[in-house]
Structure 1
Amino acid sequence: MSDIEKVNDLLTRAEVFYLATVDGDKPKVRPLGFHLLHEDKIYFGVGTFKEVYKQMEANPNVEITAWDGEHILRYYGVADLTKNQEVVDKAFELMPEIKEAYESNGWEMGVFFLNNATAEIRNMFAIEESYEFEY
């Protein structure tokens, strides 16, 4: 199993994970559930109309944290917001109810992956594994 697959698997086991951004000088954290491993990158999705997307445009330094009941994931880096319609289409295949909501409201799904990223898989006291990802 590759390093990025290990990170993806922990996110899958956790089911819900948390994305931290910065709004001006204040931290903002919200739960997410969607992630997709595509071409050795883990993509996440949020609406381009949401504040979280605007925060990442203004300051793309983000962190994702998750807990699978045994391990903690800290995955941090620079959100790459480059449009990728193939990933959006795959996301909508996996989540048809989200596709319907976005299409009926005229919303756009923005997808991103973390570049210049570090993933730490930890227990409560120490880092057990650490990986670097540069694309």
Structure 2
Amino acid sequence: MSNIEKVKEILEKAGTFYLATVNGDKPKVRPLGGLVFYEDKLYFTVGTYKDVYKQLEVNPNTEVAAWDGEHFLRYYGEAVLEKNDAVVEIAFEQMPQIKEVYEANGLEMGVFYLDNATAEIRNMMEIEESYEFKY
């Protein structure tokens, strides 16, 4: 299993994970669940009409945090917003109810991955594993 697959496994096991962005000079955190593993990258999905997407356009520094019941994950770096129809289609296959909402309302799904990123797999006291990702 590759290092990025380890990160994916924790996020999938957690189910819900939390994405932190910067809104001006204030932090903003929200729960997410959209995740696509494609061409050895871990993509996150958010609507391009949402504040989170706009915040990432202004300041791409972000962090994802998750707890899978056993490990805590901190995955942080620079969001690379990408137009990638293949990833969007996979996301819609995984979440058909979301596809219906987006299509019915003329919305666009945005996707991003983290570059210049670090993933820390932690227990309550220390980092157990740490990985760097540069694409």
TM score, norm. by length of structure 1: 0.99
Matched with 1:62 is: 62
Structure 2 unaligned blocks of 5 or more: none
Matched with 2:76 is: 76
Give % identity: 70
Work out the CA distance in 2 between the residues paired with 1:32 and 1:2.
Answer: 23
Letter in 2 for 1:56: L
Please report how far the alpha carbon of residue 36 of structure 1 lies from its aligned counterpart in structure 2 after TM superposition: 1.1
Please report how far the alpha carbon of residue 8 of structure 1 lies from its aligned counterpart in structure 2 after TM superposition: 0.3
What is the DSSP-based 3-state SS (H/G/I as helix, E as strand, rest coil) of the residue aligned with 1:81? strand
Deviates more, 1:91-100 or 1:20-29: 91-100
- Tell me which stretches of 4 or more aligned residues in structure 1 moved more than 3 Å: none
Please report how far the alpha carbon of residue 130 of structure 1 lies from its aligned counterpart in structure 2 after TM superposition: 0.2
Structure 1 unaligned blocks of 5 or more: none
Letter in 1 for 2:48: T
What is the DSSP-based 3-state SS (H/G/I as helix, E as strand, rest coil) of the residue aligned with 1:49? coil
Letter in 1 for 2:111: V
Alignment of 1:12-23 (within 5 A): 12-23=12-23
Work out the CA distance in 2 between the residues paired with 1:15 and 1:93.
Answer: 17
Matched with 1:116 is: 116
TM score, norm. by length of structure 2: 0.99
Please, what is the CA RMSD of the aligned residues? 0.5
